[in-house]
Chains A and B, each alone.
Chain A
């Protein structure tokens, strides 16, 4: 299989959707003339025209609301929010409209909308530009939340997002855009709610999603040096969450570490830990460990920022602490 970058996997899929369905339109800040702040839509406006690939004003609330209305009105829109940090300005539209219109109208209307956004820290962008709020979206009934790790995930899950009749929040960790991975030429789609066992192991399960899966794999390497065989689970979607895959792995390894860039306190890692302990209590040899971002905003200085994020050594250390 050919190796392509995460960004390429997204581009390939978006192009296919634009070609396949007239009703597909892409809207967002700087996705056209500028080419997308992470170059995901580079060249698309030239290829598909400003009617299909549309530069919007810097108005997050109406960009998202417009996507919702367009979806209700019969189009198949994809809205790009540049980064997850700016989604806070559109939170009302996402939580109170996108996630509730189908319910409040008793199914008379629904919202087939894909909202893409870049997430994560690590590029020294300081506090306002380095957040990871995947867990907040996952908390909301009515939404689906997709967090790909590999290029293969990105392509297969984005396909599914465009087939889903519900609002889908599609989150891309900025550290992944240039990472390569195998992606089949052919068309394929990955179902939501199916995690991927990235690496098989017997002693401990390392659970991550999006960028944190990478840290988990590095931690698994470290553990291997100490003869600890770690299984690495890539969740792929947070809502729906593949609870079976999590429990199956933990019932085998009897130990788990959940890794998340976001703040630990009140974060999504706590949900995963709680579910495991609720449903596999007697299978656990030790409480589930969480390795997350520090309880601070993200600072600019490189060393401070790195210290604020989960590191492979920490993850490996937490895993060893379970023995």
Chain B
């Protein structure tokens, strides 16, 4: 690292402001990012981090303020402008066309560099080898796992010769081992002179990898710190201005009464390939069973089979002593299965319908939503009002459409709805994903209270702290099989992570 480079900051953002209809996403943002460093941005959900990065990448235009890259003031009106001056971005959500090959995904928009043929293919192989990405340019992206896709995203950026790389929550879907591998990559990139901007909600990660940290709260920069100067708790307090809650297990409420029993469950995909193998477990009244696993190892399939959206190839599902294996989703839900889906927009809400109609969704055969074959709007409305106040859903009213609510409030509403008809079993997939700390604590509280009242919970989460903090038992799913069982009292995230990748040996090698 030369002195010159350090003298000219890679990026200077001055007075950046951006408003959306009714929302001030960014205002008076001031950040200086030193060349050749890893710079972390932290902040609550909705604090404006992604918006700021999109501005820096030219996806959105700022309303005010200036951007200087390597000392030159720039005006970015599209991603091409940003790419042209060496800025690349890996988005919060994958930006990959499943039906395209790695090659096509990478060269898209950067065809000038090496065409779209063999030159490009060689170049991709080269980069892949240089960084140990292990990617074949001719693989279809839909055949790749999450970690590989993440690497394709980074490869896309490197291919364009970006010197400044933005990574928006790149670790959200990775297991600890993958995170470690990613961080190795990042450090290597830094050593080669790249500047990295890194966003994460996982503060320990931030502290371990970043050179500088900027904290954003309510759209503006509130602090700039060095990792050595703060600990995670202090950082969190800077972010939210309050104390960080964490799930803490209270006394066990597990009873003898088995509510959900899954016996030798197997599921095949359309081509007959097994997706779930030999799944066996039981959940008792008052018990929370946590399922840990790398995304895409069968969690979704397991949930969908239990809820009845997919039909098992073999095996039995028993609910409160009755066999429900052949029941329709509707019948299962009527019997008292609550469901917090992992993707609330796709599976949990009718975005353009008012809240009170969303109250009916999934409960359209039960009071208070219906009377006989007819809907009961007054009943549904009244109960929606109750949920809104009991679960602190921030909304102007119950006729507001679901789309207008922020993600966290949508999630609180869903939790309230699923708790409302006294379920005996709750299937909760990532119940606090993308929800900010305040709402997170509230949701944990609700789940715990219901457990105390005898609810059985199947909890799927990528947040290992959440799993450890809430569960009575944790099982690990890997390639459609339950491969290990842990006691949350004694397990560490590292142990879980090893089991999740099925590579205790590998992790030992690495460490």
Q: Do A and B truly interact?
A: no
**Which residues of A line the B interface, CB within 8 A?**
none
